[in-house]
Amino acid sequence: YTLRFSFMQKIVQKFGGTSVGTIDKIKHVCSLINKEIKSGNQVAVVSSAMSGETNKLVSLAENFDINKNKLEFDMIVSTGEQVSIALISMALKEIGLKGVPLLGWQIPITGSNDFTKAKIDNIDDSLVLDVMNKGEIPIIAGFQGVNSKNNIVTFGRGGSDTSAVAIAAAIRADRCDIYTDVDGIYTSDPRIVEKARKLNKISYEEMLEFASLGAKVLQTRSVEMAMRHEVLVQVLSSQTGEKGTFLTKEDKKMENELVSGIAYSKDEANITLINILDKPGVATKIFSPLSEANINVDMIVQTGSENGKNINFTYTVSRKDLEQTISIMEENKLGIEFERIITNNSLAKVSIVGLGMRTHTGVANKMFSSLASESINIHVISTSEIKISVLIDEEYIEKALNALHSTFKLDKK
């Protein structure tokens, strides 16, 4: 039994790729760890690979057919984190701290068997807590775990966020600090919208929509996990170290916020099937082979037609899935009974998010007229309780984000 003083907190510090992108940055990160330790807290570190490394590993693996080599793919792309955690450990030693670099299998962080997008099933907290209670610092490789067959699995791009929140939940950390290259969560991507405003807090629910609509600052699953286990998450800059944005439970004040943020995703491809014979079962004929192939379909629109016999179907998939989707449609052409297929690979999805949309009307029209006044054409629209998404040509992302940002007065508190 180790004595824990009441003021002593358990903090998870997660460092993203740019925060550990060079040796100097790694040394800087060690000073952030040191600061937390010196203020009397216990720390567990979770790190990403150095920036650019995972992309390099992915392109190496892509010399071969990934669908036939998923085990090897995860074995390759997980190595970036192995390098960064060992470097952090070396750098900590230089300033007199003892780090213990740990790979997923050593802890173990157990993941499901889905290579490239495994879910975290379980984390054994004992090793991590033992290290911390000895006054040492576990430095945990993000993004990776081990499956029931002892293979390395990875958690999807951006997965270190999920590793960090999962570790925080497992060791019941008082806080999970996600250090990145912006100083918090903004009303829109601050790299595109100059007037984007930093939020002091955002509800789990809004952040969940925000993340799943493309705001890659947090991986969607990390937000889900934080919400489920009520982990106190802060997103902050590793450069300034200033107070960032906290994820919180929804409160009254937030409900008034009509639109709280704008997200975008460039990862959109559009498929339109023209002149399908309209009869019961058409939709399932289109979508069941896609779901069997594990292809995720996002926006779906079915349109009527003049003679009442033929309809069109438009839907979107992730760009990387477009080719496979087309060939699946061609294979099923006779069954689906469509005439031809049209595709578009240069589209973007722009979405406005806000809890206030539940109770306010007119938000959608305000969005459409804002885009119209910029002469931006909308291809597809989809809505849910707290968001409205439109599909537009990729080249208009910047124009659309900035126009919507000012239409909904997001730069003003």
In the complex with ligand ASP, the residue whose CB is nearer, 225 or 392, is 225
Q: Which of 160, 187, 203, 314 binds ligand ASP (CB under 6 A)?
A: 160
Q: Is 158 an interacting residue with respect to Mg ion (CB under 5 A)?
A: yes
Alpha-carbon distance of 65 to 77, in angstroms, equals 15
In terms of CB distance, is 79 or 302 closer to ligand ASP?
A: 79
Q: Which of 57, 185, 213, 223 lies at the binding interface for ligand ADP (CB under 6 A)?
A: 185
Q: Cβ closer to Mg ion: 118 or 258?
A: 118
Indicate whether 216 belongs to the interface with ligand ADP (CB under 6 A): yes
Which of 140, 165, 217, 355 lies at the binding interface for ligand ADP (CB under 6 A)? Answer: 217
Q: Which residues pair with 145 in a beta bridge?
A: 153
Closest of 271, 259, 325 to residue 301, by C-alpha: 271
Decide if residue 18 touches ligand ADP (CB under 6 A): yes
- 180 binds ligand ADP per the rule CB under 6 A: yes
Which of positions 303-332 make contact with ligand ADP (CB under 6 A)? none
Contact window for ligand ASP (CB under 6 A) among 131-139, 152-160, 254-262, 298-306: 152-160
Contact 8, 66 (CB under 8 A): no
The two structure tokens encoding residue 191? 């790299």
Query: Within a 10 A sphere around the Cβ of 105, how many other Cβ atoms?
Result: 17
3-state secondary structure of 364: helix
Residue 258 DSSP one-character state: S
Q: What is the DSSP code (8-state) at residue 49?
A: P
Closest distance between ligand ASP and the C-beta of residue 94, in Å?
24
Positive or negative torsion for Cα 180, 184, 188, 190: negative
Binding pattern for the stretch 68-97 against ligand ASP, x by CB under 6 A and - elsewhere: ------------x-----------------
Interface with ligand ASP: number of residues (CB under 6 A): 13
Gap between the Cα atoms of 131 and 128, Å rounded:
5
> Strand, coil or helix: what is 318?
strand
Tokens found for residue 288: 């069941």
Residue 48 or 203 with smaller CB distance to ligand ASP: 48
Our finding on whether 400 is near ligand ADP (CB under 6 A) is no
Give Cα separations from 290 to 283, 304, 322 (angstroms): 11, 23, 11
Measured between alpha carbons, how far is 347 from 51 in angstroms, rounded to an integer?
A: 26
Q: Which of 174, 181, 224, 278 binds ligand ADP (CB under 6 A)?
A: 181
Q: Mark out the alpha helices in 78-201 (DSSP H runs).
A: 79-94, 126-133, 160-170
49 part of the interface to ligand ASP, by CB under 6 A: yes
User: With CB cut-offs between 5 and 8 Å by kind, which of Mg ion, ligand ASP, ligand ADP, none does residue 49 bind?
Assistant: ligand ASP
Residues near ligand ASP (CB under 6 A) are 16-17, 48-49, 54, 80, 142-143, 157-161
